[in-house]
């Protein structure tokens, strides 16, 4: 059946809209209409809007096709969802610290002959479960928006995430990504076995016999996924899959920063051993909001 979905883009100027990858006609006021052919019944259509600066906003809509003619895209899809791009974004920034005496990082006892020379006694591999730097800077904390962006859709990041195995260590130890694919590669000339622990995502368990081997896995749902190696018991990493692009991982200096659309949100700081802290923030249009987090042993 020939249908003409229509809607309105409110927050984007001079944009193009595609419905099921066919160009729609867009008026100066943001009203758009497209013509698509769909079979009868429950159907999904995909709407993508792109502004002059190539910001893309997308929405999936469910419609019931009964007759030919006009069908309105639901208002949440035609306006709010399509405005969920980052063109008016502000910046969320802050610093994560550890309060109190930092725990000593334990030396990892490496039994693998290939990796041993890469961690000499004067520069040993240290446990990465709590990494505290100068001034109490806490590394490897994932800070992300957990409330306030529900129903918004963001395009997946174009390039998938990558995690390496180097010197019998996952690099990086903590990684945050949008739902999509992750490539795990072996930089060591020995066998590693990538084994994931997850609840919502399909688990993977794959041997990589030597240097240069790599595999790409799918992580479609937001959750924390732990990676371990079945060959080397000390190897582990955390992949935090976030359902929006508003996240960052604290660095050596404990600092983090990411961009977010204007609005009021709950943000969460997650640490693999020290738990989570949350805060309410309001991101001003084009401005900056600062939020620090302090962790301690409970
Ligand atoms: Cu290994």
- The encoded tokens of residue 152 equal 């918004």
Residue 134 C-alpha to ligand 1 middle, in angstroms?
Answer: 30
Residue 171 C-alpha to ligand 1 middle, in angstroms?
Answer: 12
Longest CA pairwise span in the chain (Å)? 75
Write down the pLDDT at residue 190: 97
- Rounded (10°) CA dihedral 141, 158, 285, 28: -170
Give the range with max mean pLDDT: 80-89, 205-214, 240-249, 257-266: 205-214
Write down the pLDDT at residue 50: 74
Chain region(s) in the chain for CATH 2.60.40.420: 90-295
Residue 229 C-alpha to ligand 1 middle, in angstroms?
Answer: 5
CATH 2.60.40.420 for the 90-295 domain, yes or no: yes
Cα distance between residue 293 and residue 96, in whole Å: 5
User: Which distant-in-sequence residues (6+ apart) come within 8 Å of 236 by Cβ?
Assistant: 170, 173, 226, 227, 228, 229
Residue 143 C-alpha to ligand 1 middle, in angstroms?
Answer: 28
Q: Is the bond preceding residue 172 a cis peptide, omega within 30 degrees?
A: yes
Residue 103 C-alpha to ligand 1 middle, in angstroms?
Answer: 25
Confidence of residue 166 (pLDDT cuts 50, 70, 90): very high
Q: What is the CA radius of gyration of the chain?
A: 23
DSSP string, 228-271: EESS-TT-EEEEEE-SSS-EEE--TTSEEEEEE-SEEEEEEEEE
- 235-267 pLDDT per residue, tens: 999 999 998 889 999 999 999 998 888 899 999
Residue 202 C-alpha to ligand 1 middle, in angstroms?
Answer: 21
Q: Give the residue, 167 or 21, on which the prediction is more confident.
A: 167
Strand partners, 177: 241
Residue 129 C-alpha to ligand 1 middle, in angstroms?
Answer: 17
Chain region(s) in the chain for CATH 2.60.40.10: 2-83
- 14-52 pLDDT per residue, tens: 667 777 778 877 776 667 777 777 777 777 777 777 766
Phi/psi at 113 (5° precision): -60, -35
Cα distance between residue 154 and residue 59, in whole Å: 8
Residue 9 C-alpha to ligand 1 middle, in angstroms?
Answer: 50
Write down the pLDDT at residue 209: 96
Write down the pLDDT at residue 273: 96
DSSP at 132: B
Q: Provide the pairing of β-strand 69-72 with 247-249.
A: unpaired
At the topology level, CATH places domain 2-83 in Immunoglobulin-like (2.60.40)
With residues binned 3-state (H G I as helix, E B as strand, rest as coil), the percentages for the chain, rounded to 5, are: 5, 50, 45
Residue 42 CB neighbours (<10 A):
9
Cα distance between residue 20 and residue 27, in whole Å: 19
Residue 133 C-alpha to ligand 1 middle, in angstroms?
Answer: 27
Write down the pLDDT at residue 34: 76
Q: Give the residue, 220 or 274, on which the prediction is more confident.
A: 274
Residue 239 C-alpha to ligand 1 middle, in angstroms?
Answer: 17
Residue 67 C-alpha to ligand 1 middle, in angstroms?
Answer: 58
């Amino acid at each position: 059946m020939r249908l003409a979905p229509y809607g309105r883009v409110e927050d984007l100027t001079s944009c193009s809209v595609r419905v099921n990858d066919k160009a729609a006609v867009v008026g100066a006021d943001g009203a758009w209409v497209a013509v698509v052919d769909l079979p009868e019944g429950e159907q999904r259509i995909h709407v993508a809007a792109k502004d002059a600066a190539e910001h893309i906003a997308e929405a999936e809509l469910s419609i019931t096709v009964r007759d030919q003619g006009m069908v309105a895209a639901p208002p949440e899809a035609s306006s709010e969802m399509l405005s969920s791009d980052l063109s008016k974004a502000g910046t969320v920034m802050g610093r994560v610290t550890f309060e109190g005496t930092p725990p000593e990082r334990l030396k990892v006892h490496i039994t693998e002959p290939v990796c041993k020379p890469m961690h000499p006694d004067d520069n040993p591999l240290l446990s990465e479960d709590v990494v505290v730097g100068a001034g109490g800077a806490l590394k490897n904390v994932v800070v992300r928006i957990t409330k306030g962006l529900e129903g918004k859709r963001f395009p997946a990041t174009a390039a998938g995430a990558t995690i390496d195995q180097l010197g019998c260590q996952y690099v990086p130890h903590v990684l945050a990504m949008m739902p999509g694919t992750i490539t795990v590669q072996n930089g060591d000339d020995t066998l590693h076995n990538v084994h994931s622990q997850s609840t919502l995502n399909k688990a993977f368990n794959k041997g990589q016999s030597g240097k240069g081997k790599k595999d790409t896995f799918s992580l479609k749902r937001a959750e924390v996924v732990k990676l371990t190696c079945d060959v080397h018991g000390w190897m582990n990493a955390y992949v935090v899959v976030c359902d929006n692009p508003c996240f960052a991982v604290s660095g050596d200096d404990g600092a983090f920063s990411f961009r977010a659309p204007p609005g009021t949100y709950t943000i969460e700081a997650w640490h693999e051993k020290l738990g989570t802290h949350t805060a309410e923030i309001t991101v001003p249009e084009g401005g900056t909001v600062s939020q620090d987090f302090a962790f301690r042993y409970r």
